Structure 1
Amino acid sequence: MDNAPLILLAAGGTGGHLFPAEALAVELMRRGLRVRLATDGRALRYGGLFARDSIDLVPSATVRGRNPISLARTALTLAYGTLVATNVVRRLKPAAVVGFGGYPTLPPLMAARLLGVPGIIHDANAVLGRANRFLSSRVNAIATSLPGVLDRDPALASKATTVGTPMRPAILAAAAVKYASPEPNAPLRLLVVGGSQGARVMSDIVPSAIETLDSALWSRLVVTQQVREEDMTRVRAVYDRLKINAELAPFFSDLPARLASSQLVISRAGAGTVAELAAIGRPSILVPLPGAIDQDQFANAGVLAQAGGAIRIAQPEFTPERLAADITAFAAEPAKLTAMAQAARGAGRLDAAERLADLVMKVAGI
């Protein structure tokens, strides 16, 4: 194994970037290759597959705003990170460097380019992220989760391959769980999540929407909701007053299993979340993060909504009254949820890790 080719993975330190990297790492190791991860310090919180001794920390910074001093500081940090990453790549001699988005991928992939090591980027969104857009002309291959992402750019489309979003083992296990179609007058399991950092809008809208429901529905609801610590008291007070069966937490480490047991998901529309909903096959109400430069979450939600697996609601339209109306309609006609679950599953890819591993090995010449 010590003589096996090494693939260096580069990812930003959030779950949306790290989970696909972990899924690819599992598949590459299954094929007998070695893997290491280059990332920033945030990744150490996630644990998982990558032990500390298999991680190379590389300085990085995110471009935020247009303040000249801030931009100069970011540029200096990224330049220093590229110097550190160049030493890492020179020492490790990887057969390829694979990036999964986020600014921490810039230094390792720029180092790979400087040293003549093949570079590959994977983007899970319906539009390329800023870091990947910068790298797209500087790598050997581009893997996308969704088709048509680069159709308007023939130069980039020529080196793009649609593979899907690699799924970690916990998601693959959850995908094996059959959707439990809601029964009339039986419990309706609702999962409310807001991404790795939570989303205050869910705490503002969902409890109020549930309070707006016909009281006969309250006893049917089983709510699992991700809630920030600072919002916990007020959200819990609403559910306690209504006697709602609710479990609240700032973070769920077993989220894949909770997705599998849910009958309706209310969520942001991050690329990882949308891909996991499709892979597992669960109906959802998606509220894209507003104000994003690339409107990536709006586009991500649109893919699943167009397939019939989700309802996309822009945040200004995500009101307690609108959400209560949707929940009421689903409770009255649960067959709609079953049809959405099937449609979502039809849009999912469970073999993305294998497809991406094939591409990596081809580019690396392994």
Structure 2
Amino acid sequence: MRIVLTGGGTGGHIYPALAVGKQALQDIPGTSLLYIGTTKGLESRIVPAANIPFEAVEITGFKRKLSLENVKTVLRFLKATSRSKELLRRFKPDVVVGTGGYVCGPVVYAAARLGIPTLIHEQNVIPGLTNQFLSRYAKTVAVSFEDSASHFTGKHVLFTGNPCATQVLQADRAAGYASLGIRPGGRIVLIFGGSRGARALNEAVVDMLPALGTLADVHFVFVTGESYYETIQQQLKSRAVPANLVVLPYLHNMAQVLAASSLVVSRSGASTLAELTALGIPSILIPSPNVTNNHQEHNARGLAVAGAAEMVLEKELSGERLLGDIRAIMTSPERLAAMKQAALTLGKPESASLIINELQRLAQQRQR
């Protein structure tokens, strides 16, 4: 099968697309992949590092108010659509998969105009603008949350969960421990703010550093985000850094470290939540307030209501509050176990396989 993947801007769009691609390579012998993104998004680095062929188009998003820039965006969309058609004709895909972000617009639209079956995947409870627009052209809309279906009335909607859930289950837990220099079985609290990092979360962690040593049997792994790393390192020079803390700019083996973690403190992007529930990892979630439709709070609230997570709004976040929540969970084996079980009940580990099955159906339907 020949599959074009497209999705960009943030890891939340990129990693689901990569998960679908990896599952296709695993399940369908002879599969060929092409990823279409932009040169400015994270996909321009992440995708080639995953050894998947990458091509780029130029596109930007619309502003939410009338402006001259929106006129330029329309022109860029038309140019990107033309470029996408050129790439699609050259690659000759059986199907196209879009996972969100501006770049999906011209690629999925171009595929639909060429008669190539398309599937779009929505990671969040409340769909993004691009997927709402593309749903009128896609053959199938796959959703991570059942509640999302009502936003795509009249379309073929498939509840698949998030494909990142499937891939993370294959992670080598022992390799996660080894990469951190932590003995197997050690208790890890992993703290990260998404693919780009989160300033508010970083500040709270720095504030609670002096007290981390009081949880001496816990290893704290603090991932700052590459853009914040140097600033954090400068701040740490004037503080006593506890021996049970590891500070990193980025984790290239995130799945392995997740698999080894006892508790995760993070934003509540959909891909992260899919991985946490697949693995049954308790979490403390700090939704980003700077996202469309406040979708991260909707995502986090679902886990909190189910008992799989604690949700802390960013305006309520402090080092003292965060440390208190971590301590309350990590010192209660009963609570950890209950949160783990609740997380597992929300997981959908077969997600990527469900999407691959649908792609095969669409490709076969086209051949008839």
Range of TM-score over shorter length: 0.7 to 0.9
Aligned in 2, Cα 1:246/1:143: closer, same or farther, shift over 3 Å? same
Structure 1 partner of 2:325: 326
Structure 2 partner of 1:57: 56
Does the 8 A contact of 2:35 with 2:47 survive in 1? Answer: no
Does the 8 A contact of 2:100 with 2:122 survive in 1? Answer: yes
Aligned in 2, Cα 1:236/1:263: closer, same or farther, shift over 3 Å? farther
2: CA distance, partners of 1:149 / 1:231: 39
Q: 1:23 aligns with which of 15, 19, 29?
A: 19
Identity %: 30
Structure 1 partner of 2:32: 34
1: CA distance, partners of 2:334 / 2:62: 45
Does the 8 A contact of 1:210 with 1:324 survive in 2? Answer: no
- Equivalent position SS for 1:142: strand
Does the 8 A contact of 2:210 with 2:242 survive in 1? Answer: no
Q: 1:174 aligns with which of 171, 174, 198?
A: 171
- What's the CA shift for 1:14? 3.1
Residue 38 of structure 1 aligns with an amino acid whose one-letter code is: I
Structure 2 partner of 1:77: 76
Runs of at least 5 residues in structure 1 that lack an aligned partner in the other structure: 181-185
Aligned in 2, Cα 1:254/1:51: closer, same or farther, shift over 3 Å? closer
2: CA distance, partners of 1:100 / 1:152: 16
Structure 1 partner of 2:249: 250
Which whole-Å deviations, capped at 9, do the CAs of 1:169-225 have from their partners, x for residues lacking one?
761223878xx9xxxxx9752111001101111111123235467x633x3342111
2: CA distance, partners of 1:107 / 1:224: 39
**After superposition, where does 1:290-305 map in structure 2 within 5 Å?**
290-305=289-304
Give every structure 1 segment of 4 or more consecutive aligned residues whose post-TM-superposition deviation is greater than 6 Å.
Answer: none
Does the 8 A contact of 2:132 with 2:152 survive in 1? Answer: no
**After superposition, where does 1:171-210 map in structure 2 within 5 Å?**
171-174=168-171, 188-210=187-209
**TM-score, normalisation: structure 2:** 0.87
Which whole-Å deviations, capped at 9, do the CAs of 1:240-281 have from their partners, x for residues lacking one?
515342111211111112112222111001111111111111
Does the 8 A contact of 1:308 with 1:343 survive in 2? Answer: yes
Aligned length: 349
- What's the CA shift for 1:234? 4.8
1: CA distance, partners of 2:48 / 2:91: 22
Residue 99 of structure 1 aligns with an amino acid whose one-letter code is: G
Structure 1, 348-357 or 325-334: larger mean CA deviation: 325-334
- What's the CA shift for 1:352? 0.8
- What's the CA shift for 1:91? 2.4
Runs of at least 5 residues in structure 2 that lack an aligned partner in the other structure: 178-184
Which whole-Å deviations, capped at 9, do the CAs of 1:135-175 have from their partners, x for residues lacking one?
1122111001111212255324xx10001111377612238
Aligned in 2, Cα 1:354/1:332: closer, same or farther, shift over 3 Å? closer
- Equivalent position SS for 2:256: helix
Structure 1, 111-120 or 43-52: larger mean CA deviation: 43-52
2: CA distance, partners of 1:343 / 1:174: 21
**TM-score, normalisation: structure 1:** 0.87
- Equivalent position SS for 1:174: coil
Structure 2 partner of 1:133: 132
Residue 200 of structure 2 aligns with an amino acid whose one-letter code is: V
Which whole-Å deviations, capped at 9, do the CAs of 1:325-360 have from their partners, x for residues lacking one?
212322432321222122112211111111001111
Does the 8 A contact of 1:194 with 1:226 survive in 2? Answer: yes
Which whole-Å deviations, capped at 9, do the CAs of 1:110-155 have from their partners, x for residues lacking one?
1012112212101111111111111112211100111121225532
2: CA distance, partners of 1:250 / 1:242: 16
- What's the CA shift for 1:6? 1.6
**After superposition, where does 1:1-366 map in structure 2 within 5 Å?**
5-29=1-25, 30-32=27-29, 33-41=31-39, 42=41, 43-47=43-47, 50-51=50-51, 54-66=53-65, 68-151=67-150, 153-156=152-155, 159-167=156-164, 171-174=168-171, 188-211=187-210, 216-217=214-215, 219-227=216-224, 228-237=228-237, 240-241=239-240, 243-365=242-364
2: CA distance, partners of 1:331 / 1:93: 52
- Equivalent position SS for 2:288: coil
Does the 8 A contact of 1:236 with 1:248 survive in 2? Answer: no
1: CA distance, partners of 2:269 / 2:71: 29
